[in-house]
Structure 1
C-alpha cells in the first residue's frame, strides 16, 4: 500500500541573545520566531516562571494544545458538513495539562471544551456525537502520547426547528 506524505516545513529562529549568548542560564532570553513559507511569523518563548519565558509570546505547550484543538475543530466541521449538520458557531476553551516533577515531565492530557451552535435543533444529538468521531479521525490526536478528551456543549440557535 502506498502512503501519501505531506511535509510541513517550519523554521525556528532564536532571537533571544542579550549580548552574551548562553553564557549563563539567566543570561539569555527564550524568545524565538516560528516561520513557515507564507503565514506571518509567530512570536514564541518558553513558559513563564521556572522556564524563564515571556508571557506575551506563545510557548510550545500552548502551541501543542492549540494544534490539538485546531485539528479537532477542522475534523468536526468537515464531519458536520458531510452529515448535514449546519454549524453556526464554534468556540473551544481547550486546556493542556503538563505534569512536572516526575522522572519524565510530560503532558498529562488535553481537554477540549467546544461550545457549538447548530442551525437545526433536530441535529443536536448528531452534532454532539460527531465530536467523538472527530477525535477518532484527528491526525494530531493520533500523533500525541497523552489522552485527549472532548466535553462538548451543543445548542441550537433560538427559534430553530424543534
Structure 2
C-alpha cells in the first residue's frame, strides 16, 4: 500500500464583472515540491491559463496508462523509444444525471527500438496496461484506446 499527499490552497480574490465575485484560481502543491496553478475549467468561470481538475484527471489516466504500458512492454521484450498521447476526456451527464467525466480516449503514438510488436501484440500490450493501470482502475468512466 502507498499513500499520496497533495495540498490544495485557495484564497478569496475578486473577479470583476461577474455576479459571483470569487476567483476559482488555487494551487496544487504536490509531495515532491511542485506547485501547479489550478482553476475550474473556463466553461465554469475558470482561468484558461491554469490546469483544471478535469485536465488533471485525463493527464493522470494517460500518464498511468503510459507508465504501465512501458513496464508491460519491457517485460515482454519490446523496447519503447518514444510514447506520445493525445488524450481527451468528455464531460457530460452520467447515468444518474450528474456531470462527470464520462469517457477518456487515449490516442498513443509509440515508436520502438528494434522489433516492434504486431498489431495484435500491441493490442494485448494496451489491454494489459489498461487492466493494470492504478488510475484507470480507480475511475468509473470507460477508458478507450484508439489504434494508431
Query: 1:85: which partner in 2?
Result: 78
State the secondary structure of the residue aligned to 2:117. helix
Query: 1:130: which partner in 2?
Result: 125
Deviation at 1:36, TM superposition (A): 1.9
State the secondary structure of the residue aligned to 2:135. helix
Q: 1:14 and 2:10 equivalent?
A: yes
**How much is the aligned-residue C-alpha RMSD, in angstroms?**
2.0
Instruction: Report the Cα distance in structure 2 between the residues aligned to 1:122 and 1:8, rounded to whole angstroms.
Output: 35
Normalising by structure 2, report the TM-score: 0.88
Q: 1:119 and 2:138 equivalent?
A: no
Determine which of 30, 34, 48 is the counterpart of 2:24. 30
Query: 1:156: which partner in 2?
Result: none
State the secondary structure of the residue aligned to 1:88. strand
Give CA deviations for 1:84-142 in whole Å, capped at 9, x if unaligned. Answer: 10111110000000004973111110000000011234533323420111001111111
Determine which of 53, 59, 63 is the counterpart of 1:60. 53
State the secondary structure of the residue aligned to 2:105. strand
Q: How many residues align?
A: 144
Structure 2, gaps ≥5 residues long: none
State the secondary structure of the residue aligned to 1:98. strand
Instruction: Report the Cα distance in structure 2 between the residues aligned to 1:112 and 1:122, rounded to whole angstroms.
Output: 20
Normalising by structure 1, report the TM-score: 0.81
Instruction: Report the Cα distance in structure 2 between the residues aligned to 1:119 and 1:113, rounded to whole angstroms.
Output: 20
Query: 1:149: which partner in 2?
Result: 144
